[in-house]
Amino acid sequence: ELHYQPVGGMTPEQARRDLRIAELKHRLEVLATTDMALIVSPGQNEIQQMQKLGLEIAPHRKRMAESQPGLDEKFKDTDDPLRLVFVCAMWLTGFDAPSCSTIYIDKPMRNHTLMQTIARANRVFPGKHSGVIVDYANVFASLEKALAIYGAGKGGANPVKDKQQLVEQLRGAIVDATAFCASHGVMLDEIEALDAGSMERLSCIQDGMNALISP
């Protein structure tokens, strides 16, 4: 987390701008240095099967077998650049990495497997107040059933927020963002009215970006 204190004759607006720039540079640096790995269980005739699909599994299998330290240890180490892993079944259950903050789900899951998967990102860790689940497979209905089975306990409150409540929060955030842009002379409704992909619209977007990051 970055903090910035105004110095000299710097205005609060300049301080916020410089802090934002520093944050974006830090994010880009993290992305540029992020290592990725494939984590899958071995299968019979997997090399031939993958080659038929135009894929090469051998380099990934070699890395999983020979990595020192192991990929699981590297992923748990917050100082290691291995920050993104693609998994199928391995690591979804019984794998404990408290620093894991986000899980992207792109296949159907239910019951205990779903709860175990969600739990991977729901561990307490310094600087992390909650985990994030990005659902590409529409497992929400299965999640409600799983919570009814495995989530009952003292209190009994459903931790899944009502979608309408989230929609209202999103609308409020859009109103706030629109007002903020307007205060800097960037009229979003006028930009949206322009033809998508037109040079005029692209020019207005660029001008708006410059207006928002300028002192």
Per DSSP, the chain holds a count of helices (H) and strands (E) of: 9, 4
Main-chain dihedrals φ then ψ at residue 11, nearest 5 degrees: -80, 160
Domains defined for the chain, CATH in brackets: 12-160 (3.40.50.300), 165-213 (no CATH)
Question: Would the pTM of this model clear 0.95, i.e. be above it?
Answer: no
204 close to 191: Cβ distance less than 8 angstroms: yes
Which run of H or of E encompasses 38? Answer: strand 35-39
- What is the per-residue pLDDT for 21? 85
pLDDT tens for 74-99 read 999 999 999 999 998 888 877 889 99
Separation between Cα atoms, residue 139 and residue 154, nearest integer Å: 25
- What is the per-residue pLDDT for 160? 62
- With a cut of 50, which residues of the chain have pLDDT below it? none
Q: Show the DSSP H helices in 120-187 as ranges.
A: 140-150, 163-183
